[in-house]
Amino acid sequence: MKKNLFIAFEGIDGSGKSTQVKLLTVRLEEAGHKVYATFEPTGSPMGRIIRDMFNHRMEGDHRTIAALFVADRLHHLLESSTGMLRKLEEGYTVITDRYYFSSYAYHGVHVDIDWVIQANSLSAGLLRPDLNIFIDISPEVSMERLKKSREAIEMYETYDNLNKVRAKYLEAFEQLKEVERICVVEGDRSPEAIAGEVWETVRRYDAT
């Protein structure tokens, strides 16, 4: 493989992104990449406030949450020692579990999607993913998986909301298809089958 890449995994809750981040990390390391795997919301103070709002420990309007994600993402990019831009400069391939398409989809359900895109334009200007990989599952599969794995259901984890979030993802992909490289992977399969397709996609991209 030629160069270090920036890859964002996207999907509704329960889509298996974190498993895929781990599996892709192993494959990339085997191919000789140094890999930095990361996620949003981050562990920053902004990320902690967001999680408190999701868990209803703190009140949070959808607009406030959308704005906190804008700040958390800029910090994720710009923090001087572990920020994604620094890691790319250091030669790491960076894989993030969620990036700005999560904001377009999750907040676009509640506020104007064009505002969300505009509010994230600094991040998009700083760093666009080489690949946005969307692991596509239905809201039915998502809810089944969440019921098995979660002790408490968070703010956005209802069938109705996840259905709308998935539709917003597809809308945002259509709206931004000229400027973003998006790859949709069928997610209702074994983790190994999904990982195989993800790996082929990454290799194909890297060969271009």
H or E stretch covering 76: helix 62-78
Measured from the CB of residue 75, what is the shortest distance to ligand TMP in angstroms? 13
User: In the numeric block, which tokens belong to residue 99?
Assistant: 């990036």
- Residue pair 132/176 in contact (Cβ under 8 Å)? The answer is no
Binding mask 34-73 for ligand TMP (x = CB under 6 A): ------xx---------------------------x----
Least Cα distance to 201 among 7, 3, 14 occurs for 7
By the rule CB under 6 A, 98 interacts with ligand TMP: yes
Is 20 an interacting residue with respect to ligand TMP (CB under 6 A)?
A: no
Number of Cβ atoms within 10 Å of the Cβ of 171 = 14
The count of chain residues that interact with ligand TMP, using the rule CB under 6 A, is: 11
Indicate whether 96 belongs to the interface with ligand TMP (CB under 6 A): no
User: Cα torsion at 179, 115, 11, 83 (round to 10°)?
Assistant: 80
CA-based nearest residue to 100, from 64, 125, 137: 125
- Verify binding: residue 10, ligand TMP, rule CB under 6 A: no
Tell me which residue has its CB nearest to ligand TMP.
106
CB 33 within 8 A of CB 4: yes
Residue 169 binds ligand TMP, judged by CB under 6 A: no
Asked if 72 and 41 count as a contact pair (C-beta separation under 8 A), the reply is yes
In the bound complex, what is the minimum distance in angstroms from residue 165's beta carbon to ligand TMP? 8
Which one among 38, 102, 132, 142 touches ligand TMP, defined by CB under 6 A?
102
Q: Which of 4, 103, 132, 142 binds ligand TMP (CB under 6 A)?
A: 103
Identify the helix (H) or strand (E) that includes residue 156: none
Q: Which of 106, 134, 169, 173 binds ligand TMP (CB under 6 A)?
A: 106
Question: Using CB under 6 A as the criterion, which residues of the chain lie in contact with ligand TMP when the complex forms?
Answer: 13, 40-41, 69, 97-98, 102-103, 106, 154, 156
